[in-house]
A and B are shown apart, each in its own frame.
Chain A
Amino acid sequence: MKINTMAEMMAAGETPEVLFWVGCAGSFDQRAQKITKAFATILDKVGVKFAILGKEEACTGDPARRAGNEFLFQMMAYQNIQVLNGYGIKKIVTTCPHCFNTLKNEYPELGGTYDVVHHTTLLQQLIDEGKIKLKEGGEFKGKKISYHDSCYLGRANDIYEAPRKVLEALDAELVEIKRCKSNGLCCGAGGAQMFKEDEPGNKRINIERADEALETGAGFIASACPFCNTMITDGIKNREKENEVAVLDVAEMIAASMQ
Chain B
Amino acid sequence: MHYIPQIGFLILAVAGSFLFARKAGEIKRNILLGKKEDLSNDPGKRWNNLILLALGQKKMFKNPLVALLHLVVYAGFIIINIEVLEIVLDGVLGTHRLFLPVLGSAYTWLIIFFEFLAVAVIVVCAIFLIRRNLIRLKRFISKDLNGWPRSDANYILFTEIVLMSLFVLMNAADQVLQSRGAAHYPATRAFFFSDMLTPLFNGFSDGTLTGMERSAWWLHIIGIFLFLNYLPYSKHLHIILAFPNAYFARLEPQGKLKNMPAVQNEVLYAMQPELTPADAAPPASFGAKDVFDLSWKNLLDAYSCTECGRCTASCPANLTGKLLSPRKIMMSTRDRLEEVGRNINLNKTFQDDGKSLLHHYISVEELRACTTCNACVEACPVSIAPLDIIMELRRSLIMEESNAPQEWNGTFSNIENNFAPWKFSPDERDKWATEMAS
The verdict on A246 contacting chain B, using a C-beta distance below 8 Å, is no
Within A2-43, the residues touching B (CB, 8 Å) are 2-3, 5, 22, 24, 26-29, 33, 36-37, 40-41
Q: Is the CB of B433 within 8 A of A52?
A: yes
Contact partner, B253, options A36, A72, A105, A189, Cβ 8 Å: A105
On chain B, the residues within 8 Å of A190 by CB distance are 371-373
A interface footprint on B389-407 (CB within 8 Å = 1, 0 otherwise): 0010011111100001101
The verdict on B324 contacting chain A, using a C-beta distance below 8 Å, is yes
- Pick 17 A–B contacts, CB within 8 A, sort by A: A28-B420, A28-B428, A55-B427, A55-B429, A59-B419, A59-B420, A61-B415, A64-B411, A67-B394, A76-B415, A104-B253, A106-B259, A183-B375, A198-B369, A202-B321, A203-B321, A205-B320
B interface footprint on A88-112 (CB within 8 Å = 1, 0 otherwise): 0000000000000100111001100
CB distance from B52 to the nearest CB of A (A): 15
Q: Which A residue's beta carbon lies closest to that of B379?
A: A183
Q: Is the CB of B408 within 8 A of A196?
A: yes
The distance in angstroms between the C-alpha atoms of A183 and B311, with both chains bound, is 11
CB distance from A26 to the nearest CB of B (A): 8
On chain B, the residues within 8 Å of A59 by CB distance are 415, 419-421
The distance in angstroms between the C-alpha atoms of A188 and B233, with both chains bound, is 36
A interface footprint on B154-177 (CB within 8 Å = 1, 0 otherwise): 000000000000000000000000
The verdict on A121 contacting chain B, using a C-beta distance below 8 Å, is no
Q: Is the CB of B430 within 8 A of A27?
A: yes
CB distance from A197 to the nearest CB of B (A): 7
On chain A, the residues within 8 Å of B257 by CB distance are 65-66, 106
Given contacts A27-B430, A183-B314, contact A105 B375 (CB under 8 A): no
Which of the listed residues B287, B404, B432 has the most CB atoms from chain A within 10 Å of its own CB? B432
The verdict on A85 contacting chain B, using a C-beta distance below 8 Å, is no
Given contacts A66-B391, A70-B395, contact A196 B405 (CB under 8 A): yes
A interface footprint on B408-438 (CB within 8 Å = 1, 0 otherwise): 1011100110011110101111111101110
Q: Is the CB of A72 within 8 A of B412?
A: yes
How many contacts A-B (CB < 8 Å)? 222
The verdict on A247 contacting chain B, using a C-beta distance below 8 Å, is no
Give the contact-size bracket for chain A: 35 or more
Q: Is the CB of A199 within 8 A of B317?
A: yes
Contact partner, A185, options B319, B391, B419, Cβ 8 Å: B319
On chain B, the residues within 8 Å of A66 by CB distance are 257, 372, 391, 394
Given contacts A61-B415, A70-B286, A151-B375, contact A78 B267 (CB under 8 A): yes
The verdict on B323 contacting chain A, using a C-beta distance below 8 Å, is yes
The distance in angstroms between the C-alpha atoms of A198 and B123, with both chains bound, is 44
The verdict on A47 contacting chain B, using a C-beta distance below 8 Å, is no
The distance in angstroms between the C-alpha atoms of A198 and B432, with both chains bound, is 30
On chain A, the residues within 8 Å of B254 by CB distance are 155-157
Q: Is the CB of A54 within 8 A of B372?
A: no
Interface residues, chain B, CB within 8 Å of chain A? 62, 252-257, 259-260, 263-264, 266-268, 271, 286-287, 314, 316-317, 319-324, 365, 368-375, 377-378, 391, 394-399, 404-405, 407-408, 410-412, 415-416, 419-422, 424, 426-433, 435-437
Contact partner, B415, options A63, A109, A198, Cβ 8 Å: A63
The distance in angstroms between the C-alpha atoms of A189 and B370, with both chains bound, is 10
The distance in angstroms between the C-alpha atoms of A59 and B254, with both chains bound, is 21
On chain A, the residues within 8 Å of B416 by CB distance are 72, 75
Instruction: List the 3 closest pairs (A to B, CB-CB), nearest first.
Output: A156-B255, A202-B321, A191-B372
Q: Is the CB of B419 within 8 A of A68?
A: no
Which of the listed residues A22, A63, A109 has the most CB atoms from chain B within 10 Å of its own CB? A63
The distance in angstroms between the C-alpha atoms of A1 and B437, with both chains bound, is 5
On chain B, the residues within 8 Å of A27 by CB distance are 420, 424, 428-432
Given contacts A200-B322, A203-B320, contact A189 B260 (CB under 8 A): no
The verdict on A204 contacting chain B, using a C-beta distance below 8 Å, is yes
The distance in angstroms between the C-alpha atoms of A155 and B207, with both chains bound, is 64
On chain A, the residues within 8 Å of B369 by CB distance are 198-199, 201
Within A188-230, the residues touching B (CB, 8 Å) are 188-205, 208-209
Contact partner, A71, options B323, B371, B399, Cβ 8 Å: B399
Q: Is the CB of B371 within 8 A of A193?
A: yes
The distance in angstroms between the C-alpha atoms of A201 and B315, with both chains bound, is 13
Q: Which B residue's beta carbon lies closest to that of A179?
A: B314
Supply 7 further A-B pairs (C-beta < 8 A) apart from A66-B372, A190-B371. Answer: A28-B429, A68-B395, A78-B267, A155-B375, A195-B410, A196-B411, A200-B322
